Amino acid sequence: MVKEIMSGNEAIARGAWEAGCSFAAAYPGTPSTEILENLAEIREISARWANNEKTALEMAIGAAIGGLRSLAAMKHVGLNVAADPLCAVGYTGVNAGLVVVTADDPGCHSSQNEQDNRFYALLAKVALVEPSDSQECKDYIKEAFAISERFDIPVLFRVTTRICHSKGLVELEQPGETVVKPYQQNRSKYCMLPANARVRHVVREESLAELEEYANTSSLNRIEWGSRKLGIVTSGISYQYAKEVFGNSASILKLGLTNPLPRTLIKEFCGAVDEIYVIEEGEPFIENAVKALGFSCTGKDKIPITGELNASIVGAALAGKNPQAGYSVEVQAPPRPPVLCAGCPHRGFFWSLKKNKKRIVAMGDIGCYSLGVGEPFAGFETNLCMGAGISGTIGFAKALEKQGDPRKVLGMVGDSTFFHSGITSLIDVIHADANVIACILDNSITAMTGHQVNAGSDRDVQGNEVPAIDVVALIRGLGVPEDRLRVVDPLDLKAMQQALDAAVAVKGPFVIITKRPCVLIKEVARANAGRYCQVDPDKCVGCRACTLIACPAMAFKDNKSIIADPASCTACGLCMQMCKFDAISKVGE
């Protein structure tokens, strides 16, 4: 059998292919992004980046009801956006199988929270499957499609960062024939009017009971008998930590199908061991169920709810394995926070904003521009979730106005965030005639998550030509008059200042669109290759003005500024605009 080293995300895509899945939609978000990127490379699969997680899931639901095995993927907070269709499809059920991948992020490696999405399975009344490594990612996806069809239920497939981005050997099988289940009209099943929904709820409760029976005997839930002194109940990545710490010494109930939980199996296991540990990352999802069955157990009293687990944490909490002292030296490594790239268009925007701090107070959002929160820009006061950077301004402006705060409130979103949910926020701003500045930082790509195309692109993820949505035309179409709308190059500091001046001068909504592509876009990088700035040491007086923009290509040495890393410099010219002594020039133009 062919074995390949695969990440969990690659294995999920492979599993979907082997299962005959032929439709996939997703919205990017770490750690889930590579799932759709890998699916897009498979010819038999129609894969799409959606504008947000809700539309992604709705597309997939449409395909599943229509008769194609389909998959939607998103990061954990994305499921909040898609919760509405998830709860609806929990009642309607599917036709062909539907798998919804949620990639949770314990430890907040790249997220705003650590929410444990297993609870969504209870809320939406859908099946829940949790793999523990790449091999299981592939195998369980196939099983998930089978469960989905057999029990007419969507399956929530829950992975975590450590599973998505870890690699292991995976045994490959043949890609499957595309599954097509003929579409049959069935309005009482698919139209969730109250009369139908009441009936479907009853049907769902019945099918969940049947699925629980199945869960008791499914190969996804298995017992590895060891000593009966200690029994460990676990799921997902925590199984690996349990094995690492306890090896084959303890008995382990490894759960892979975790909603509905196999209560008979849990009772059988827990009744056969002297002591019970429940090892799980995040919330006490399994532990609560074990306790509800009348067993006392050790779990979240010893293992933290917060943060990501690892074998050491589990070993220290449950097996008294405390590490001895390791190596240390007296100096500390200076921090290395992520920063805006050399040439990043967001840098010009944030410098302009900083200069107008007395007049403008800003709300941020999620994207590369989130990096503008740090020094030296300290660019905004809040960032919560995608879209809030625009809608939040409406309430914030009212609150500041009541307190006599004269500053104008500004909100910002990136182009992908604008398409995600910023557009509905902007409609709110305009319709509310809110006294705010709405900025769309359009760098022509979804940058933060690793450069996915979005609705503003003229190619889709599979390389097909598609009509690009014109952001400026769209906003004009909302009725924003020309004198309330500016399109500027954010690296042109003068134009940026003029736009902000105009925005502050009027009362009511004002829209600024900053337009300049991300420097990491391949074509842009190619065009910039060989171009860089240089500082004339004779003209440089060492005033450090150019270092205020915090460009990683620059350094200050021996009382002079230098372009320390010409290879990363793009000759964006921002430092030239900062210099009053004409000491910086461009090379390679």
Ligand X SMILES: Cc1ncc(C[n+]2csc(CCOP(=O)(O)OP(=O)(O)O)c2C)c(N)n1
Residues that bind ligand X (CB under 6 A): 27-29, 75, 77-78, 81, 366-369, 386, 413-417, 443, 445-449
Measured CA to CA, the distance from residue 129 to residue 142 in angstroms comes to: 11
Pairing between β-strand 46-49 and β-strand 70-75 as defined by DSSP bridges? unpaired
Q: How far is the CB of 111 from other proteins (least distance, A)?
A: 9
Helix ranges, 479-521 (H) = 493-505
Measured CA to CA, the distance from residue 254 to residue 275 in angstroms comes to: 16
Q: How far is the CB of 522 from other proteins (least distance, A)?
A: 14
Measured CA to CA, the distance from residue 95 to residue 97 in angstroms comes to: 6
Three-state DSSP class for 450? coil
Binding partner of residue 566 among other proteins, ligand X, none, CB cut-off 5 to 8 Å per kind: none
Binding partner of residue 178 among other proteins, ligand X, none, CB cut-off 5 to 8 Å per kind: none
Contact 539, 548 (CB under 8 A): no
Task: Number of residues interacting with other proteins: please give it, by CB under 8 A.
Answer: 56
Q: How far is the CB of 130 from other proteins (least distance, A)?
A: 16
Looking at the Cβ atoms of 478 and 545, the one nearer to other proteins is 545
Looking at the Cβ atoms of 266 and 341, the one nearer to ligand X is 341
Looking at the Cβ atoms of 235 and 370, the one nearer to ligand X is 370
Using the rule CB under 8 A, give the single segment among 19-27, 204-212, 269-277, 552-560 that binds other proteins. Answer: 552-560
Binding partner of residue 375 among other proteins, ligand X, none, CB cut-off 5 to 8 Å per kind: other proteins
Residue with the CB atom nearest ligand X in the bound state? 414
Measured CA to CA, the distance from residue 309 to residue 281 in angstroms comes to: 6
Q: Is 306 in the site for other proteins (CB under 8 A)?
A: no
Using the rule CB under 8 A, give the single segment among 189-197, 250-258, 322-330, 389-397 that binds other proteins. Answer: 322-330
Q: Which of 112, 178, 312, 498 binds other proteins (CB under 8 A)?
A: 312
Looking at the Cβ atoms of 33 and 435, the one nearer to ligand X is 33
Looking at the Cβ atoms of 28 and 284, the one nearer to ligand X is 28
Task: Quickly count: other Cβ atoms within 10 Å of residue 219's Cβ.
Answer: 10
Q: How far is the CB of 571 from other proteins (least distance, A)?
A: 19
Q: Which of 241, 418, 419, 510 binds other proteins (CB under 8 A)?
A: 241
Q: Which of 326, 463, 467, 477 binds other proteins (CB under 8 A)?
A: 326
Contact 255, 286 (CB under 8 A): yes
Q: Is 112 in the site for other proteins (CB under 8 A)?
A: no
Q: Is 554 in the site for other proteins (CB under 8 A)?
A: yes
Three-state DSSP class for 542? coil
Using the rule CB under 8 A, give the single segment among 114-122, 160-168, 467-475, 483-491 that binds other proteins. Answer: 160-168
Looking at the Cβ atoms of 4 and 173, the one nearer to other proteins is 4
Whether the CA torsion 198, 199, 202, 206 is positive or negative: it is negative
What is the footprint of other proteins within residues 505-534 (CB under 8 A)? 520
Residue at 268: amino acid letter: E
Looking at the Cβ atoms of 30 and 38, the one nearer to other proteins is 30
Q: How far is the CB of 448 from ligand X (least distance, A)?
A: 3
Q: How far is the CB of 7 from other proteins (least distance, A)?
A: 8
Contact 446, 416 (CB under 8 A): yes
Residue with tokens 């917060």, as numbered in its chain = 306
What is the footprint of other proteins within residues 163-182 (CB under 8 A)? 165-169
Q: How far is the CB of 10 from ligand X (least distance, A)?
A: 20
What is the footprint of other proteins within residues 380-399 (CB under 8 A)? none
31 to 50: interface string for other proteins, x by CB under 8 A: x-------------------
Measured CA to CA, the distance from residue 345 to residue 228 in angstroms comes to: 62
Q: Is 335 in the site for other proteins (CB under 8 A)?
A: yes
Contact 94, 71 (CB under 8 A): no
Binding partner of residue 464 among ligand X, other proteins, none, CB cut-off 5 to 8 Å per kind: none
Contact 11, 34 (CB under 8 A): no
Three-state DSSP class for 101? strand
Measured CA to CA, the distance from residue 68 to residue 24 in angstroms comes to: 10
Measured CA to CA, the distance from residue 261 to residue 568 in angstroms comes to: 53
Among candidate residues 477, 367, 450, 456, the one with its CA nearest the CA of residue 51: 456
To the nearest 10 degrees (0 to 180), the angle between helices 194-217 and 134-150 is 130
Q: Give the CA distances from residue 339 to residues 373, 416, 544, in Å, rounded to whole numbers and listed in that order.
A: 10, 20, 19
Looking at the Cβ atoms of 310 and 382, the one nearer to other proteins is 310
Contact 483, 413 (CB under 8 A): no
Q: How far is the CB of 554 from other proteins (least distance, A)?
A: 7
Q: Is 324 in the site for other proteins (CB under 8 A)?
A: yes
447 to 486: interface string for other proteins, x by CB under 8 A: -x-x------------------------------------
Q: What's the CA angle centered on 186, arms 184 and 190, to 5 degrees?
A: 115
Binding partner of residue 366 among ligand X, other proteins, none, CB cut-off 5 to 8 Å per kind: ligand X
Measured CA to CA, the distance from residue 110 to residue 104 in angstroms comes to: 10
Whole-number CA gyration radius for the chain:
27
Task: Quickly count: other Cβ atoms within 10 Å of residue 536's Cβ.
Answer: 13
Binding partner of residue 159 among ligand X, other proteins, none, CB cut-off 5 to 8 Å per kind: none
Among candidate residues 537, 539, 561, the one with its CA nearest the CA of residue 550: 561
Q: Is 5 in the site for other proteins (CB under 8 A)?
A: yes
Binding partner of residue 333 among other proteins, ligand X, none, CB cut-off 5 to 8 Å per kind: other proteins
Residue with tokens 């539907």, as numbered in its chain = 98
Element containing residue 120 per DSSP (H, E): helix 118-124
Looking at the Cβ atoms of 237 and 471, the one nearer to other proteins is 237
Q: Give the CA distances from residue 395 to residues 183, 414, 424, 432, in Å, rounded to whole numbers and listed in that order.
A: 46, 21, 15, 10
Rule CB under 8 A: which residues touch other proteins? 3, 5, 7, 30-31, 109-110, 133, 161-162, 165-169, 237, 240-241, 243-244, 310-313, 323-324, 326-341, 368, 371, 375-376, 448, 450, 520, 547, 550, 552, 554-556, 564
